[in-house]
Amino acid sequence: MSIALENEQKLSAATPSEGHTAAHAAASPVVQTRDLRLYYGQSEALKGVTMDFHSNQVTALIGPSGCGKSTLLRCLNRMNDLIDEVLVTGSILLDGEEVNDKTLDVIELRRRVGMVFQRAVPFPKSIYENVAYGLRIAGVRDRKVVDEAVEQSLRRSALWDEVKDRLHESALGLSGGQHQRLCIARAIAVDPEIVLMDEPCSALDPRSTTRIEDLIGELRRQYTIIIVTHNMQQAARVSDYTAFLYEGELIEVGATKQVFTKPERKETEDYITGRFG
Amino acid sequence: MWATAAALTAMLSLVVVLLYVVLVNGLHVFWPAYVAEVTRVDGEALLGEITRRATNPDTDEVSFQLKTGNRELDPQRQDFRWVKEKDIRSISYPTGIYVLERVENGNYYGRLERVEGPHVPAAGDRSGDEALSSGVTAVQQKAAEYLGPIARNLAALSHQLQETREAIATLQYRKTRLPGDQHQRLDEQLAEAESRATQLKKQSDYWVALQQKRLAEFRTDVAVFKDASGKSTPIEMLDIVRIYQPNDMGLLAKLGHYVKKIGELLWDNPRESNTEGGLFPAIFGTVMLIFLMAITCFPLGVLAGIYLGEYAKDRHLVRLVRIAVNNLAGIPSIVYGIFGLGFFVYGIGGLIDQWIFPERVAVGSPTFGTGGILWASLTLGLLTVPVVIVSTEEALRAIPRGIREGSLALGATKYQTLLHVLVPMASPGMMTGFILAMARAAGEVAPLMITGVVKLAPQLPLDGDFPYFHLDRKFMHLGFHIYDVGFQSPNVEASKPMVYVTTLLLLLIVLLMTSTAIWLRNRMRKRCQLRTL
Ligand SMILES: Nc1ncnc2c1ncn2[C@@H]1O[C@H](COP(=O)(O)OP(=O)(O)OP(=O)(O)O)[C@@H](O)[C@H]1O
Ligand SMILES: [Mg+2]
């Protein structure tokens, strides 16, 4: 109990200062992690992460490779269940509901918390079927509904113009950047509340990166977005909040502007300015 | 480096030699060979196809092997003769030589003298050739007209007789099971059935006698031929299957002959203890066996593979099972055969018989408790299922994790992911296993020999009689045919061509089936291919 309280205090110290923009003021936490620890077998990959993610905001997770960004992200929709010998302790609250609860309907959770992976792998189906997949398995049979959702998702992921004439061709014939946007379309087609993006712009050219960044800005109005990125400029450009992780520990979290201009911790500053080991 | 290359070359050349031997020997079998007239120094003349030339390594003497046919005339009943080159005065290829393929006694080589008999149309001014061919056609047509209905009658009668006998056996069996006071009714029924049986027997005896009489008449329709020594032999026209004169045939005629022979091979029943005639029942048996095997082993293997790859939790157990499955492939196939005999035939088959046909067991004619195509195909399925399991599991494991996670992250259940994404993606791999399984199954003979293959099956396992599929029936098989004709036949030389042809045919069938499967797989693969970024 006392630990939880302590965390609470630390967290409130880390949340953005009051004088921020109106949008930030309206933000409320949809996801809260409390002393989240994750073990891969013997090794501890997350060492007690306590932070909030706010609704309709973009939160960027930054940190050196192997610090646990993907692991944290995957905790939020329980993707780590798929890996053997993983132990998770602590709590994750989604709208006040415990995510780590074994009785929770994982299917429902994943429908609410969509994910775009570090490496975009479309299904070996047509472009249309890729986007419609989530709806189909959710049991949506109405053709008109599916058609509409597919078009809307593709438009929002800025892919529609490129693929509208070849919707029924194999998705495997698209380029890497198009794959990435297709996977985003696939994720938002089921209308999740939260979208997790794990380095959506890795292996993309600047133009595609720009498009995806624009897209994130667009999606932000409707969804809560958590994005992992190695690109500091990108984090600064697209996110409202930034969290810096180092070796499984949350070092600092705060409004992006603040973290980038006057970080509270020296490690953060070193990392952002590139002076890091 | 050179060692690996040499090993590969050695392997390839062995395969090529094998294929070459089979192709060369198999392909020319049906090509009408010239008939040589060989005159020996001592004046004896021989007619026949020169089939081989051999040199004695010690004496350098050259000899020729002649297929002289006319088996019934030879004291040793031989089709083949060896003649030393130094004993030969001349070899010529005269025209007008006939080759007769016969229902019995193999080929006949000779010159036509005349045709005669009650059913032969008057020769008029036709030449001998025409008289022969029109005579044979006419006689065989008439014979079909007279004898066909008799044969059909007899078949029907024997079927009824068989049923009556089974009914008698059932009644007798029931009698042993029921208390004495109920015997009277059974005895009445028994008496009735027995009188019906004698009735049927009498009828069938009448028809048999008629058939014999008619046949005797037709046996007087003969074509008289003269062999090389000048001896005349009457040959019954009913006995003649095909007539040709190879020395007088042009290329086109030979080609026609070749095509017809292949047609016979594919669609006719075998003759002469399988060394002549067609292979239809064996082809049918082989294909049906593999199909039955496929529809049992494929689903089973795929399901087991999916369980092992996706659901099984215990890592060590899975590893153990995987090793076991892999090693199953190393068990000699005859062991599977013995298992099939013990488990399927005597075990399951015996149980089915006891439940459904106890009276047949009692009279010693089991239905499922004896070898049959169903048990043979299940045994083969058992033999090949590990291949399907392993390749299914491997295909599933080869799917990138991103695909699996992508599907699950969209809220799909494990089952939905499997059904909509993983199985379609793994299907080419499963097909590969299936192709391997099929190729292996097609080549197996040993386990079949004790689970239901026979050298001559009277009926196909699929026909127009209800219930159409007779999975309890015994069947013929090309692989067993090779063994039977090649090594169990009394007439080794005469059966050699058939061995090559059968081998070739088996290879072709396997090739056809596997290439169809490969074509299917490639179509699947094209749809599922992941483009690497
Ligand atoms: N399946 C796994 N089994 C064991 N250890 C793992 C597994 N996945 C990740 N780890 C370990 O957990 C730590 C955190 O990994 P994670 O993938 O979260 O890093 P990351 O911050 O996303 O790195 P990157 O920026 O390179 O993607 C690493 O030390 C990694 O080796
Ligand atoms: Mg990562």
CB contact under 8 A, B413 and A121: no
Let me know if residue B71 belongs to a domain: yes
Q: Give the amino acid at B218.
A: F
CB neighbour list of residue A28: distance below 8 Å, 6 or more residues apart: A54, A55
pLDDT number for residue B362: 66
Domain ranges of chain A: 2-273
Residue nearest to atom 19 of ligand 1 (CA): A66
More confident position, A7 or A243: A243
Q: Are B383 and B447 in contact (CB under 8 A)?
A: yes
Residue A230 Cα: closest atom of ligand 1: 25
pLDDT number for residue A72: 94
Residue B333: alpha-carbon gap to chain centroid: 20
Shortest distance between the Cα of B533 and any Cα of chain A, in A, equals 6
Q: How many CA atoms lie within 13 A of B405 on its CB side?
A: 20
Cα separation, B362 vs B172, whole angstroms:
9
CB contact under 8 A, A117 and B406: yes
Residues B214 and B330 in one domain: no
CB contact under 8 A, A82 and B408: yes
Cα separation, B31 vs B448, whole angstroms:
33
Residues B456 and B316 in one domain: yes
Q: What is the pTM of this model?
A: 0.79
Residues B317 and B372 in one domain: yes
Report residue B445 as tokens: 């003979």
Flag whether pLDDT at B417 surpasses 90.
Answer: yes
Residues B81 and B152 in one domain: no
CB neighbour list of residue B465: distance below 8 Å, 6 or more residues apart: none
Q: For A255-264, B50-59, B449-458, B477-486, which range has the lowest pLDDT when averaged over its residues? A: B449-458
Alpha helices in B369-457 (DSSP H): 373-397, 401-409, 414-417, 423-443, 446-449
Flag whether pLDDT at B249 surpasses 70.
Answer: yes
Helix/strand/coil for B273: coil
pLDDT number for residue B188: 87
* pLDDT band of B380, cuts 50, 70, 90: very high
Residue in B closest to A197 by C-alpha: B409
CB contact under 8 A, B410 and A108: no
Q: For A12-21, B33-42, B261-270, B458-467, which range has the lowest pLDDT when averaged over its residues? A: A12-21
Residues B106 and B167 in one domain: no
pLDDT number for residue B198: 92
Across the interface, of A114, A120, A137, the residue whose CB is closest to B420 is: A137
Sheet of strand B240-244: strand arrangement: B232-236, B222-226, B108-116, B98-102, B240-244
Cα separation, A243 vs A50, whole angstroms:
11
Residue B306: alpha-carbon gap to chain centroid: 36
* pLDDT band of A23, cuts 50, 70, 90: very low
Among B226, B228, B227, residue whose Cα is nearest residue B38: B228
Residues B347 and B485 in one domain: yes
Flag whether pLDDT at B158 surpasses 80.
Answer: yes
Nearest ligand by distance to the CA of A63? 1
CB contact under 8 A, A124 and B530: yes
Flag whether pLDDT at B183 surpasses 50.
Answer: yes
Quote the domain boundaries for residue B150: 118-220
Q: Domain of B385: which CATH number?
A: 1.10.3720.10
- Report the relative pairing of strands A224-228 and A194-198 from DSSP bridges: parallel
CB neighbour list of residue A249: distance below 8 Å, 6 or more residues apart: A47, A48, A49
Instruction: Scan residues 488-527 of B and list those with Cβ closer than 8 Å to A.
Output: 527
- Report the relative pairing of strands B240-244 and B232-236 from DSSP bridges: unpaired
Shortest distance between the Cα of A111 and any Cα of chain B, in A, equals 5
Residue nearest to atom 9 of ligand 1 (CA): A71
Cα separation, B205 vs A178, whole angstroms:
85
Cα separation, B262 vs B271, whole angstroms:
15
Cα separation, A113 vs B427, whole angstroms:
31
Residues B339 and B418 in one domain: yes
Compute, in angstroms, the gap from residue A98 CA to the centroid of ligand 1. Answer: 24
Q: What is the ipTM of this complex?
A: 0.84
State the CATH class of domain A2-273: alpha beta
Report residue B267 as tokens: 């669609």
Residue A272: alpha-carbon gap to chain centroid: 20
Chain segment A48-107, per-residue pLDDT in tens: 999 999 989 999 999 999 999 999 999 999 998 888 889 999 999 998 889 888 888 999
Flag whether pLDDT at A17 surpasses 60.
Answer: no
Overall residue count recorded for chain A in this entry: 277
Cα separation, B380 vs B371, whole angstroms:
13
Residues B313 and B393 in one domain: yes
Residue in A closest to B314 by C-alpha: A84
pLDDT number for residue B442: 84
Q: Are B29 and B107 in contact (CB under 8 A)?
A: no
pLDDT number for residue B528: 63
Residues B407 and B444 in one domain: yes
CB contact under 8 A, A190 and B400: no
- Report the relative pairing of strands A86-94 and A29-40 from DSSP bridges: antiparallel
Residues in contact with ligand 1 by the CB-under-6-Å rule are A 40, 45, 65-71, 83
Mean pLDDT, to the nearest integer, of B60-73?
A: 90
B243 touches chain A (CB under 8 A): no
Neighbours of B327 (CB within 10 A): 10
Q: Which of B59, B77, B112 is the last residue of a domain?
A: B112
Residue nearest to atom 26 of ligand 1 (CA): A65
Q: Which of B71, B88, B112 is the last residue of a domain?
A: B112
Chain segment B286-343, per-residue pLDDT in tens: 999 999 999 989 999 999 999 988 888 777 888 888 888 778 878 888 999 999 999 9
Sheet of strand B80-84: strand arrangement: B80-84, B62-67, B45-55, B36-40, B88-92
Across the interface, of B404, B409, B413, the residue whose CB is closest to A77 is: B409
N-terminal to C-terminal alpha carbon distance within chain A: 36
Among A109, A114, A69, residue whose Cα is nearest residue A223: A114
Overall number of domains in chain B: 3
Query: Which residue carries 């918390």 as its tokens?
Result: A113
* pLDDT band of A14, cuts 50, 70, 90: very low
pLDDT number for residue A20: 41
Residues B326 and B419 in one domain: yes
More confident position, B468 or A225: A225
Compute, in angstroms, the gap from residue A118 CA to the centroid of ligand 2. Answer: 7
Q: Are A268 and A259 in contact (CB under 8 A)?
A: yes
Residue A83 Cα: closest atom of ligand 1: 1
Shortest distance between the Cα of A223 and any Cα of chain B, in A, equals 16
- Residue B50 φ/ψ region, left for φ over 0, alpha for ψ in the -120 to 50 degree band, beta for the rest: beta
Mean pLDDT, to the nearest integer, of B369-375?
A: 86
Let me know if residue B14 belongs to a domain: no
User: B183-218 and B128-177 are packed helices; what angle lies between their axes, rounded to 10 degrees?
Assistant: 170
Q: Which of B112, B129, B160 is the last residue of a domain?
A: B112
* pLDDT band of A6, cuts 50, 70, 90: very low
Residues B481 and B519 in one domain: yes
Percent helix, strand, coil in chain B, to 5, is 65, 15, 25
Residues B339 and B425 in one domain: yes
Overall residue count recorded for chain B in this entry: 533
CB contact under 8 A, B527 and A186: no
